[in-house]
Amino acid sequence: MRLWALALLLGALRPGGAPVPARNVLLLLADDGGFESGAYNNSAIRTPNLDVLAQRSVVFQNAFTSVSSCSPSRASILTGLPQHQNGMYGLHQDVHHFNSFDSVQSLPQLLSRARIRTGIIGKKHVGPEAVYPFDFAYTEENSSILQVGRNITRIKALVRQFLQSQDERPFFLYVAFHDPHRCGHSQPQYGAFCEKFGNGESGMGWIPDWKPQLYHPEQVQVPHFVPDTPAARADLAAQYTTIGRMDQGIGLVLEELRRAGFHNSTLVIYTSDNGIPFPSGRTNLYRSGTAEPLLISSPEHTKRWGQVSQAFVTLLDLTPTILDWFSIPYPSYSIFGTKRVQLTGKSLLPALESEQPWATAFSSQSHHEVTMYYPMRAIQHQQFRLIHNLNYKMPFPIDQDFYISPTFQDLLNRTKARQPTHWNKTLHQYYYRDRWELFDCSRDPTESQNLAPDPHYATVFQLLHAQLLKWQWDTGDPWVCAPDAVLEEKLSPQCRPLHNEL
């Protein structure tokens, strides 16, 4: 018997030899969600179920995605590896066609080998199937994404089906909501955020368990990085309605967990994949594009319930956390060649016991859509954030569903007409960025003043640059020498200069 299997067996016994309830994990993921909840002090929106979950959780104030793009983020969550290491450089579906490397060992694979039952309901958006297999799967690959990702009555029924068919194995259930993702590009008949889907109006269908909550544009809280215009406010009001649907869905899922008797043995995690789909949000490595909500509720760590943690954590920490919860070690293996894969994330279970001194977070982005090649690498250490824009001589790209959004179309029209945009930057500044951007987020929370050229911050710049480079080397980043050198792994030094005037 393998040592980890013996540890699982021994861990499942009380001192007298009687079995104890198996540990389980429920991962709840929002799609392009942000801090629109009472748990994060947004008083304009009603999210009673997230607020109750927060009362039973540690609420992380400095949680970050490692990449602000859907498929890359989901692949990073399910592998513990950044997108440049697992191979999911951009979106998975259709013409984009990005996949993780065949030899990557994902969380569902590792759990299955340890006899943990795995299930996914909702948006999967990663591949290949051999790398991301689930025992129980209702996703866009075999179902309507509207039904398994936004229809909370259908989601409730699938969660019940999963829990009622549960055997003696512990389980990992991943419920990936499609709310509050935009749908003006894919299903415009349902509104900019599919806020009309299932509301009972003619042609919209009906979701029996959903009680739609409508918001007026003047009610919303406009984030500092979003233009404060009527168009953006109406967009946010529609987003709020779909967040309310997800919140009610979370309540239904947690009630199913309780009814099935698993609520006292299940680690519940709630977060989102990337920033909200507004300017400076999704696809950006600014704090506004990478900061995420993160609630972790452990039935075994009740003393910190309702407390706020300032520790820096990232979604790369979720795989180590879940493996730690199940007492499963990470395997020794290589993706290419002989270099062994090492997780750079950490288990977050210690933060459920006491406040931790963690103060650094890394992020890495290469694509979103296949045409959106704008590689960036970033580090936030304490209050300072350093971003390396490798393709900085090109304009920052805009994705399709954001382009046709009311917020961006209004921004375009105002810019063309030379009208006030009510935004904290110009469209030109948004498109054209410096190669290096350094911000002091404590003094400059809007990330408006680039300190990289300032000699007074040279020491800070060098410290963060060195930490970022070390992380890139540790994670096998193919872009580690770019844009002014070529990586030649068999030579020394490995970064060979291009003399390209950058």
Indicate the length of the chain as a whole number.
502
State the Cα–Cα distance between residues 76 and 65, nearest whole angstrom: 9
CB-CB contact of 402 with 277 (8 Å):
yes
The dihedral of CA 255, 266, 310, 77: what is its sign?
A: negative
Instruction: State how far Cα 164 lies from the chain centre.
Output: 29
Residue 500: partners with Cβ closer than 8 Å, 6 or more residues away: 483, 484
Catalytic (active-site) positions: 70
DSSP H or E run through 50: helix 48-55
Query: In angstroms, rounded to a whole number, what is the distance separating the alpha carbons of residues 313 and 315?
Result: 7
CA–CA distance, 319 with 144 (Å, rounded to integer): 28
Q: Please tell me whether residue 267 adopts helix, strand or coil conformation.
A: strand
Angle (deg, nearest 10), helices 48-55 and 230-259: 60
Question: Where does 354-437 have alpha helices with state H?
Answer: 400-403, 406-416, 427-431
**How many contiguous H segments (helices) and E segments (strands) does the chain have?**
15, 14
